[in-house]
A and B are shown apart, each in its own frame.
Chain A
């Protein structure tokens, strides 16, 4: 049997202060909970700004589409990557101008295009002429980014399978778009998400540099924007990932680009993953086949959905429980047998009401959680205070 616990960071116990905080939150709000730290978001945003100094950051709302996250980032000057009407409505409700967005979904209904334009979102991503055709009625108003595909072998989530045109097709799409009267802003790509190697980004940037050079020699209107996507990894394994080493080659690749090129990135995970923790409670226990089973009030169909959809293994912390550890299973609250968060964990004995903390749980957690078994989604609580992200 494979070991889903492999590569999962575990932390036993917690400082008195931390423990008091978790239990305080659980008492005040009940569990399951997702707790957002505004301060950790700010730290992440500033950190990424420092690491990618000339790049305008467009938070990928889909990662954790919550008003408090959007508002906190907007206050720092962050822009937004939107992909649906609902995401635009979220921004409008917060009075954030569509001017601060790009619409990045490569495939849209005509209705969605109109809704985006009404929301003030005027830059659209396309990866083929068919899709470009849908924008024809608004060709004088919109700006176009052509999405390229650079398949990645190292990313946990490959985003080049479904979208993006082969780089060699880009010049023709750009040319035909310009001839059809479109304003082509530039190129975009997504090398995939949570790759621990920067090489895919570096290679893609370098290819785009050459491609832009070639296109701009030929076309009457030079392309002036490069959108390098997102996918920057976070340290789910809590092993002290070397972010300096990761970002340095990307920065160097960007430095080789013309100085007047507008640079855009669409970080989701990097900004929001470390800014949210999950707090769930043990609601039942049993002993099955020599293993201890603990049933939590959150699971795969809830906040831990990212383990399925996003291939993430969130670090777990057990502030409660003492004594000798034995092999245990953590399961979610639904009646489906795939609702297992982790197996082969060495855990101290836990009791009903004990808390389990999921860390780094901001990206693609609540966003993809379901209402299976008519269970309520984890309540989202927003706090000012930072988390200890060790």
Chain B
């Protein structure tokens, strides 16, 4: 196979040239590939779907980490579910106020492969002393976790078909709500609504049951093609969405790092949703 053709949708498909194939697994349960594309750099795909590329991963990971962390402002305990490539960890650990990062990944092999073939994703993040790495099913982990442990939960999941399926379930949102501290927030990967409007509807229904303030924010990640993708947002504290630009800028400057995509302006603007999406949510 000299090119990768995505198999997400029946009538439309994006196609990447494979300039060098680094890795291809075919276990009974999944088909994972890591290859180089001249424009995108290293690309990881799972079961025919683009997971991450070196060229545009910063948009996804920065938005998913910094929006909840800076909205919260004093997160100390952070849970990452999934995120085996290490890039979410890389972004979370840029916040010096975070004291402990628990990362729960179901597949140890993904971590090994990513460290070997996608080193720019983790950039040494797995060595962080604040990290507690747990190889386990995310659902099992939250189910067995004590209540009120985390300030921020980030569910960096794959597509809702396959191992990531449970991370889109009603039970998962309920357990996450339980293990969040008061005033905590969870952010989730929620797909490209232009092509899969049902995903926001379903998440609104399931997540909205457990959080007083449930909404979505968005960013356009070019290789998740189809325009903006959404991130699910769940918190009992509506004030987390009212933090001013000035305060966000202050928190960012105190954190002392330079994002490539994230700005306080984008942070606030990303909660503005297009009409078609609002309509779908209001149905």
Contact = CB atoms under 8 A, between A and B. Distances in A.
Interface of A: 89, 92-93, 95, 97-99, 114, 117-123, 137-143, 183, 185
Nearest to A182: B10
A118 B180 CA distance: 32
Interface stretch (B23-31, B125-133, B211-219, B244-252): B23-31
Nearest to B199: A140
B11 A120 contact: no
Contact of A95 (B1, B8, B197): B1
A89 B29 CA distance: 9
B30 A118 contact: yes
Contact of B48 (A98, A143, A185): A98
B10 A120 contact: no
Contact of A92 (B10, B11, B31): B31
Contacts of A114: 161-162
A120 B1 contact: no
A117 B30 CA distance: 12
Contacts of A142: 10
B198 interface: yes
Given A89-B28, A95-B26, A123-B10, 15 more contacts: A92-B31, A97-B48, A99-B5, A99-B13, A118-B30, A118-B162, A119-B7, A119-B48, A122-B8, A141-B9, A141-B195, A143-B10, A143-B11, A183-B10, A185-B10
Contact of B47 (A99, A119, A138): A119
B123 interface: no
Contacts of B195: 140-141
Closest 7 CB pairs of A and B: A120-B7, A143-B10, A122-B10, A120-B48, A118-B47, A98-B7, A114-B161
B162 A141 contact: no
Contact of A141 (B5, B10, B28, B31): B10
Interface in B42-58: 47-48
Contacts of B10: 122-123, 141-143, 183, 185
B7 A137 contact: no
24 contacts: A92-B26, A92-B31, A95-B1, A95-B24, A97-B5, A97-B7, A99-B5, A118-B30, A119-B31, A119-B48, A120-B7, A122-B7, A122-B9, A122-B10, A140-B9, A140-B197, A140-B198, A141-B9, A142-B10, A143-B10, A183-B10, A183-B11, A185-B10, A185-B11
